[in-house]
């Protein structure tokens, strides 16, 4: 990826079982929302679907919100930079 991207919104909505979401964002003031409903869903970076190593964000003032509803979910977020926030909510 060349360059950064600032002030963007990304929303991913997945329903069902075995869903996977992946992402790597570089830039500032970006907002990422992931919502998964079902069973055995997870969020990963694409280092291979089985890596399950989370969303990767590099930059400042970025926000990540992940909501997973149903059993057997996995989610991880890695952020590099200043003033970033991350929220993960999992409900059975």
**For the segment 25-60, what is each residue's pLDDT rounded down to a tens digit?**
899 999 999 999 999 998 886 666 566 677 888 999
pLDDT at 51: 67
Q: Is the pLDDT of residue 82 over 90?
A: yes
CB 55 within 8 A of CB 26: no
For the entire predicted model, the pTM comes to 0.84
- What is the C-alpha R_g of the chain? 13
Q: Is the pLDDT of residue 1 over 50?
A: no
| All structural domains of the chain with their residue ranges | 9-91
Return the closest-CA partner of residue 77 out of 60, 92, 58, 50: 58
How far is the C-alpha of 62 from the C-alpha of 15, rounded, in Å? 25
Average pLDDT over residues 79-88: 93
How far is the C-alpha of 47 from the C-alpha of 28, rounded, in Å? 23
SS3 for 9?
strand
């Amino acid at each position: 990826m060349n360059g950064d991207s600032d002030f963007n919104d990304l929303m991913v909505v997945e329903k069902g079982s075995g869903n996977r979401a992946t992402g790597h964002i570089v830039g500032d003031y970006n907002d990422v929302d992931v919502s998964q409903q079902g069973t055995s869903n997870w969020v990963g970076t694409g280092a291979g679907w089985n890596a399950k190593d989370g969303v990767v964000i590099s930059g400042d003032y970025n926000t990540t919100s992940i909501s997973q509803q149903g059993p057997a979910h996995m989610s991880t977020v890695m952020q590099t930079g200043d003033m970033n926030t991350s929220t993960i909510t999992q409900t059975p």
